[in-house]
């Protein structure tokens, strides 16, 4: 009971400490390191930041983000306006191919089109995430690039070996089936977890990353 309380209180303290989060309507539940965030936040960046804050806490092994974005009246944008804003943001970002487009409905932005790399898809999400009026992002962008699974596995493994956040004796393993990279093994922190996931997405020809990593905390 004590450890459960400690983790919950630590997550609550981290949410309160983070200046990017209005935590007044957030409640935290913890079950053996599995943390659930419930309640509301006034923007999509705060929705994302709350999960990141919880992941920073020692002992947290997974975060279930059930927060709902409830926009204040002054942040509301109608569908046509938000669609235009999102597409303008995509066009203005040099990292996003012209093949990507957005459409908005009630604050929910859907991204579609094709890219060659996972990093381009991530750039598209980032480009629209901070726009006023965004409540959620649905990423339906396809990655179209043929690559040999053996080459992909080798490329990702070498990237993990170079990464300063991942220990030399790490048991993280890489396996590629068609264009899906499967990562498994143990990592100490969420920073190490995210570094491994990011490395996999950066490899050419990766359409999907299957996350089977376990955060020991």
For residue 1, name the pLDDT band (cuts at 50, 70, 90).
very low
Q: Are residues 81 and 22 in the same domain?
A: no
User: What whole-number distance in Å separates Cα of residue 31 and Cα of residue 3?
Assistant: 10
pLDDT of the residue at 164: 87
Domain termination residue (choose one: 69, 94, 116): 69
For residue 41, the cross-strand partners are 69
Phi, psi at 35, each rounded to 5°: -105, 135
Tens-place pLDDT, residues 20-55:
999 999 999 999 999 999 999 999 999 999 999 999
Range of the domain at 110: 74-143
Instruction: State the Cα–Cα distance between residues 115 and 98, nearest whole angstrom.
Output: 9
Burial (CB count <10 Å: 0-12, 13-18, 19+), residue 172: buried
Domain identity same for 186 and 170: yes
Which pLDDT belongs to residue 116? 85
**Could you say which DSSP state residue 154 is in?**
H
State the DSSP H helix or E strand holding residue 95, giving kind and residue range, or none if neither.
Answer: none
Q: Do 159 and 137 belong together in one domain? A: no
The whole-number pLDDT of residue 167 equals 85
Q: How many domains does the chain have?
A: 3
* Percent of the chain scoring above 70 in pLDDT: 98
Instruction: Look up the CATH number of the domain holding residue 195.
Output: 3.30.1340
8 Å CB contact between 69 and 41: yes
Residue 3: per-residue pLDDT: 61
Instruction: Give the global pTM.
Output: 0.78
DSSP 23: G
Q: Which helix (H) or strand (E) holds 155?
A: helix 149-162
Strand 26-31 vs strand 34-41: parallel, antiparallel, or unpaired?
antiparallel
Chain-wide mean pLDDT for the chain?
92
Query: What's the pLDDT at 2?
Result: 53
**Residue 31 sits in a domain of what CATH number?**
3.30.1340.30
Same domain, 180 and 203: yes
Q: Are residues 42 and 103 in the same domain?
A: no
Answer with the one of 26, 45, 69 that is the final residue of a domain: 69
Q: Please give the average per-residue pLDDT across 105-128, as a whole number.
A: 94
pLDDT at res. 33: 92
Q: pLDDT tens across 161-201, in order?
A: 999 888 888 899 999 987 789 999 999 988 899 999 999 98
Q: Which of 19, 37, 69 is the last residue of a domain?
A: 69
Mean pLDDT across 108-133: 94
Report angle CA 73, 48, 44 to the nearest 5 degrees: 20
Q: Which of 31, 65, 62 is nearest to 190 (CA)?
A: 62
């Amino acid at each position: 009971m004590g450890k459960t309380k400690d983790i919950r209180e630590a997550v609550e303290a981290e949410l309160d400490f983070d200046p990017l989060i209005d935590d007044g309507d957030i409640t935290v539940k913890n079950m053996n390191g599995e943390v659930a965030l419930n309640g509301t936040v006034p923007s999509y960046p705060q929705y994302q930041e709350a999960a990141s804050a919880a992941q920073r806490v020692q002992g947290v092994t997974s975060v279930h983000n059930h927060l709902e974005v409830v926009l204040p009246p002054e942040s509301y944008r109608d569908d046509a306006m938000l669609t235009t804003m999102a597409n303008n943001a995509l066009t203005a970002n040099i990292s996003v191919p012209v093949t990507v487009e957005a459409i908005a409905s009630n604050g929910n932005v859907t991204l579609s089109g094709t890219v060659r790399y996972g990093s381009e898809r991530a750039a598209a999400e980032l480009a629209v995430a901070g726009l006023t009026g965004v409540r959620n992002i649905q990423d339906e962008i396809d990655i179209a690039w043929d690559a040999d699974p053996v080459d992909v596995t080798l490329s990702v493994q070498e990237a993990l070996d170079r990464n300063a956040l991942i220990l030399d004796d790490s048991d993280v393993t890489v396996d590629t089936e068609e264009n899906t990279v499967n990562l498994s093994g143990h990592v100490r922190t969420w920073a190490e977890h995210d570094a491994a996931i990011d490395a996999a997405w950066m490899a050419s020809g990766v359409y999907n990353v299957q996350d089977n990593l376990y955060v020991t905390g």
